Amino acid sequence: MTHDISSLRKFVSPEIVFGAGSRRSVANFASNFGARHVLLVSDPGVAAVGWVGECEALLEAAGIRTTVFTGVSANPKVDEVMAGAELYRASDCDVIVAIGGGSPMDCAKGIGIVASHGRHILEFEGVDTITHPPPPLILIPTTAGTSADVSQFAIISDPGRRFKFSIISKAVVPDVSLIDPEVTETMDPFLTACTGVDALVHAIEAFVSTGSGPLTDTHALEAIRLINRYLEPLVADTADAELRERIMLASMQAGLAFSNAILGAVHAMSHSLGGFLDLPHGLCNALLLEHVVAYNFPSAEARFRRVAEAMDIDTRGLTARQVKARLMARIMELKRRVGLEARLTQLGVTSADIPYLSGYALKDPCILTNPRKSSLRDVQVVYEEAL
């Protein structure tokens, strides 16, 4: 796969404030947007550890009224988006702030879409379906991996179809992302592993995507390098502030890469799987990663060689077959060391589920930028290998 350096490309990004304590500037940014009444979106877990209360206090100390919505589950659902949008409307809010992982941030994006259009969130599935700008959006991520805080993606779960659908638009890129490694200190080792591997998948898929290019490649490769070196020690010692900062930086760079280069078959299949069984997104990605790499490798050998090099594999003198073998081995070793070795069968997936999962995976927009064109049978085989 090659790129024409003269091709036109675009790159979208929010205003980013990165570093310890950056969350404390939330009221300043809300004031800059003229906020009178903020809808603060989060989930019960983030509220329980105190981050929601701190954010609410900062806003109210600046004279900004705040209504809190924490009715967001692990995979934000259609009804939760609609309930949040109704609360936004009923409270006469004018700015949205979300603090949490990917679920509250994606839910906040959905709330903004519904609030500005007055229509159901299901009507916005797909690419560039948003016609009215959503209200100002400030995101504060509490996990290092989902990158919803910098991306033009919103992923919503539709329980009626047991399917996660994507909304892709620069309109859902937040206005401000306050990326503060301090708020990740409440993550346990399992969540740290899931979100870290999620960021690794973002970076790898962005680098080999047919939409990749010079504006995204440097972010993707640096994210791969950081995660390869620092995720294992962070899972072993989640209290290490320096390691948290490095993985948070990796998550941000992976997000900037995939938001602009888009993704591939891992995410298409993961969205289908996560919606079907209501599983953590990062875990789904982890279980599928090496199987999709093996499938895609022949279509992007040169790119995967650079991925291997970013994972500290010496590729000098190696054949493509040897590079593939060593890259696969390193991915599996990393997963094992951070405790993500499960197979799909252990999560309740059976061979009878594969036709259903594969059909929805092929409808996901992420499949369109996968480096290897995928048929229904191709996707079925990859799922079967991951059972």
Q: What's the pLDDT tens digit per position in 34-89?
A: 999 999 999 999 999 999 999 999 999 999 999 999 999 988 999 999 999 999 99
* Mean pLDDT confidence for 237-255: 97
Q: Alpha helix locations (H) across the chain?
A: 26-32, 44-48, 51-61, 78-90, 102-117, 189-208, 214-236, 241-261, 265-277, 281-296, 301-310, 320-337, 354-361, 376-386
Tokens of 319: 């054949």
pLDDT digits (tens, 9 = 90+) for 136-194: 999 999 999 889 999 999 999 999 988 899 999 999 999 999 999 999 999 999 999 99
Q: Is there a contact between 91 and 39 (Cβ–Cβ < 8 Å)?
A: yes
Reported for 345-353, long-range contacts at CB under 8 A and 24+ positions apart, including other chains, are 345/387, 347/277, 347/279, 347/283, 347/287, 348/277, 349/273, 349/277, 349/383, 349/387, 350/387, 351/384, 351/387, 353/276
Distance CA 230, CA 260 (A): 25
Fold of 15-184: Rossmann fold (3.40.50)
Place 276 in a pLDDT band, splitting at 50, 70 and 90. confident
Per-domain residue ranges of the chain: 15-184, 189-386
CATH class of the domain comprising 189-386: mainly alpha
Best CA proximity match to 366, nearest among 271, 279, 239: 271
In angstroms, the CA 33 to CA 100 distance is: 21
